[in-house]
A and B are shown apart, each in its own frame.
Chain A
């Protein structure tokens, strides 16, 4: 009869075997698609927030502030996508932080 610690360890190991391994089986395709969708959403959301933030902080130049924001966002969105998708460990986190900062910049105008 294993002691309680060994039981917990075995149980945890079984959980890993049953959950992680099947996850890995579909990981290459589905997790990448999922990650791509998340990256696209975050990158687009960050871009939109950047346009709003620029428009808010440079409201004196009127509609042109939106144009300037759009010019920046169109350059940054593809870069965000590459960061989010290409940087395996911290890509999504970095994208989340960028998006949050951009949203904050919108709100704190």
Chain B
């Protein structure tokens, strides 16, 4: 007898969901954390916690930044200057080191270098989210293909559950048999967060669509020859008049960063200035800092594209909306995670003893629990490593990877030894300890922490870690309970 549409799409949903879901879960979790990437970086640099938010950079600070930029340019690097914002109150002279944007932070009042520890910060999750650390080209290609697969999974899921879409919206039986409870959770997350998940996946795919589809950049963007004078970096003009002029164009406090292009200096509109991520810019001459022109990106397609970017990057959002993004991202992650668990439940009885199932289960454990262990481990590493350690960024990154790899090997070993439940329990216990211990570590390793009690990023991140730890403890206890089928 021939399969029905529902059966065929069920197979597609199951397999495309599992194979791509392992990486999609990491992408979604990384993106969820990247919503607060700046705040995570600030948590990881407690030295700059005393600076108030929203200070405009003083001329003295801009002059100090200019000197820093010139030094880096003389070394053959290509730095840019990030201006202070409400979320990140310091001047940052940044450059791309192949993995992260790194560089010194300057006080926006006197331009003194703030003695902050070098850290991967929230940028690690941001890069993981859109490249999976496979490099910018291949990473974007892979993530984009996975995004398309996610859309296929969502569409097939909608078709499978079409008849029960509305009733399932309010159906959740957490204390029913495990498989039923997980399926309810999967459907509930899918239905409740459907608009966000579809929107964020579609916009994410479009943003880097050029990585997998034909791109017009090569044909339409033809860079002219580099001016001879710029092959050897020359002295930069003063940044203060340029900032004043750019603010006259875009409004006070609306400039996000200075870019140093081969032919001109650009003062670029801040990404958080409006919903549309316009990247409009004011261009200035290298020789004397004279204003050249105001570049506005207009046109229906451009505005649509800016809207997609604005929706996806969410840099314009006020704090409550940012939390909503975070919670919705968490919903998407839970959707994928519950799908992976359901896959294991479905095939455990028939294929539980096969090597491929063991591999699948250990991968799921490493993705669902190991990633959380590694992320919390990164927070611990940040505070436990010496603040003055050389190559600190590399150390943090490597320790994060090592913890994650260890989690995979640990899961693999225990699953092969037919102790899969022990692998789940032990890693959940690690999450519990690391999550519930993080607030204590924060208090112990941050000077004058009592001054900073209240509504601030330190308390928010500590509370989140506590909630993660407590949730892991609850799941751990549930796994210890007598088995229900």
Contacts and interface: CB of A to CB of B under 8 A. Distances in A.
A92 to B, nearest CB: 13
Interface in B1-35: 2-3, 5, 8-9, 11-12, 15-16
A61 B206 CA distance: 19
Contact of B299 (A48, A52, A61, A81): A61
Contact of B215 (A66, A75, A87): A66
Given A65-B216, A70-B206, A70-B210, A82 B152 contact: yes
Interface string B170-181: 000000000000
Q: Most chain-B Cβ atoms within 10 A of its Cβ — which of A47, A63, A73, A75?
A: A63
Contacts of A69: 213-214
Contacts of B483: none
A74 B209 contact: yes
Interface in B144-185: 148, 151-152, 154-156, 159
Interface in B278-312: 299, 301-302, 304-305, 308
30 contacts: A32-B11, A36-B16, A47-B213, A48-B214, A55-B214, A61-B299, A62-B220, A63-B220, A63-B221, A64-B301, A65-B301, A66-B214, A66-B215, A66-B216, A68-B301, A70-B206, A71-B206, A71-B209, A71-B301, A71-B305, A71-B308, A73-B209, A75-B202, A77-B148, A79-B155, A81-B152, A81-B155, A85-B12, A86-B159, A88-B5
Given A67-B305, A71-B305, 17 more contacts: A44-B212, A51-B214, A52-B214, A61-B301, A63-B220, A66-B215, A68-B301, A70-B206, A71-B301, A73-B213, A78-B151, A78-B155, A82-B155, A85-B9, A86-B8, A88-B3, A88-B8
Nearest to B202: A74
B12 A36 contact: yes
Nearest to B2: A88
B205 interface: yes
Interface of A: 32, 36, 44, 47-48, 51-52, 55, 61-71, 73-75, 77-79, 81-82, 85-88
Interface of B: 2-3, 5, 8-9, 11-12, 15-16, 148, 151-152, 154-156, 159, 202, 205-206, 209-210, 212-217, 219-221, 299, 301-302, 304-305, 308
A63 B215 CA distance: 8
Nearest to B11: A32
A21 to B, nearest CB: 15
B158 to A, nearest CB: 10
Contacts of A78: 148, 151-152, 154-155
B301 to A, nearest CB: 4
Listed residue (B2, B15, B152, B220) with the most chain A CB atoms within 10 angstroms of its CB: B152
Contacts of B212: 44
Contacts of A75: 202
